[in-house]
DNA sequence: CCAAGAATGTAGCAAAAGCTACATTGATTG
DNA sequence: CAATCAATGTAGCTTTTGCTACATTCTTGG
């Protein structure tokens, strides 16, 4: 059932070696279950969701800071060109997270605001947590940007617990 | 210099309102510097690097577990189809991280092994750290998968420190 | 008011990573 | 040894997010 060579020698997988004979239908093969199970939905939607959070959070920050979010400032804030911003904002509008009109700045819808608030809260927690561990502030903030999208509620809760009990 | 409306009222940015007159050249505009500075090189290369690490780590795990890494098992381990695996493995081969031949399994080059080892070490550290914080093991492992690519050496060091001093 | 220039928008390209459907290869089994 | 079928590979599509180059719009300074 398995085939393959390792330096010329034939090998089999994980010792499973299920008998195809015993079950007419192939049946779910007992393949060596990978240790790091990769339940990860690493589809494009995952990245799209992260982008969406980055954008709404940046938009919220810009609005909080200067009253409006313009494509150019957003581009600067996110480190991409304004073209990319415009196209991504179009997608976000399609998804109901933001509203915008030609030559006008960008606003968050209620659900966009909600998402931004959640993302920001996670972001803050992660950053504070890393700082409390002794990571330099600049590094902590930079890492938090990358990490925030991948922490489950349970992990965020653990971070908060740690901070609360005098990290 | 700035334009835009907020609920019909005109607003300006951050109070900067630089005088274009005083300096003939526009000069670096004092745009409201975004708080979350986004030094992030969020280019495609970033994602490509993460994919590469995921792949070499999974390949290393498969080799460690069953002596070889085949496209199908890799696909299962990573949660994608074998087609995606084959194409990505082609890229990795182009980049000198793996070697493979038609209808043969996949091997790591020395640099691939190095990358896999680094990724695995980070992964382990992150997972152990999360567990030591009280995050359930399954969740910790899942989160570590996502987080490991975004932790700087400084943060990893902080995690190790924490673990060493009796987390 | 109008010209300059910033901001915004459009067109078109590339790369990466996902997919389905189909073709080919090769190891196992009867 | 030949047929079967898993494993591998190819073709071709899609979406997302980058980019450059160019076009359009709008604000503003003179």
Please say if the pLDDT value at position A17 is more than 60: no
Enter the tokens of residue A105.
């700045």
Does B130 reach chain A within 8 Å, measured CB to CB? yes
Intrachain domains B44-112 and B116-164 with the same fold: no
Asked if B162 and A105 come within 8 Å (Cβ–Cβ), the reply is: no
**What is the pLDDT at residue A167?**
63
Asked if A36 and B61 come within 8 Å (Cβ–Cβ), the reply is: yes
Nearest to B142 by CA among B97, B92, B88, B79: B79
Does B164 reach chain A within 8 Å, measured CB to CB? no
Where are the domains positioned within chain A?
44-112, 117-164
Tens digit of pLDDT for each residue in B83-121?
999 999 999 999 999 999 999 999 999 999 999 999 999
**What is the pLDDT at residue A162?**
97
Please say if the pLDDT value at position A19 is more than 90: no
pLDDT above 70 coverage of chain B, percent: 74
Range 50-109 of B in CB contact (< 8 A) with A: 57-58, 61-62, 65-68, 70, 73, 76-80, 104-105
Nearest CA in chain B to A47: B47
- Residue A162 to residues B3, B66, B132, B166: CA-CA distances in angstroms? 45, 40, 11, 14
Tens digit of pLDDT for each residue in B44-57?
788 899 999 999 99
CATH number for the domain whose boundaries are A44-112: 1.10.10.10
In total, chain B counts a number of residues equal to 167
Please say if the pLDDT value at position A131 is more than 50: yes
**What is the pLDDT at residue B40?**
53
Shortest CA gap A124–chain B (Å): 11
Please say if the pLDDT value at position B77 is more than 80: yes
Q: Does the domain made of B116-164 have the CATH classification 1.20.810.10?
A: no
Tens digit of pLDDT for each residue in B143-157?
999 999 999 999 999
Nearest to A148 by CA among A75, A39, A56, A35: A56
Residues A43-67, mean pLDDT to the nearest whole number: 92
**What is the pLDDT at residue B55?**
97
Does B47 reach chain A within 8 Å, measured CB to CB? yes
**What is the pLDDT at residue A166?**
72
Distance (Å, whole) CA B40 – CA A51? 13
Kindly report the average pLDDT of chain B as a whole number: 80
Q: Does the domain made of A117-164 have the CATH classification 2.40.50.200?
A: no
- Confirm whether any atom of chain D, the nucleic acid strand, is less than 7 Å from CB of B91: no
Do residues B143 and A150 lie in contact, with contact meaning Cβ atoms separated by under 8 Å?
yes
């Amino acid at each position: 059932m398995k085939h393959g060579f390792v330096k010329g020698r034939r090998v089999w997988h994980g010792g499973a070696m299920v008998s195809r004979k015993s079950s007419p239908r192939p049946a779910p093969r007992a393949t060596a279950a990978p240790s790091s199970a990769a339940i990860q939905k690493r589809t494009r939607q995952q990245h799209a969701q992260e982008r969406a959070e980055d954008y709404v959070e940046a938009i919220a920050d810009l609005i909080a800071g200067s009253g409006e979010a313009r494509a150019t400032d957003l581009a600067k804030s996110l480190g991409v060109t304004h073209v990319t911003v415009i196209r991504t904002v179009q997608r976000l509008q399609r998804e109901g997270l933001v509203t915008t009109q030609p030559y006008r700045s960008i606003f968050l819808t209620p659900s966009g605001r909600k998402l931004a608030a959640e993302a920001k809260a996670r972001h803050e927690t992660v950053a504070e947590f890393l700082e409390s561990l002794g990571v330099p502030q600049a590094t902590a903030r930079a890492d938090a940007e990358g990490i925030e999208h991948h922490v489950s509620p349970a992990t965020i809760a653990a971070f908060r617990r740690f901070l609360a009990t005098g990290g």
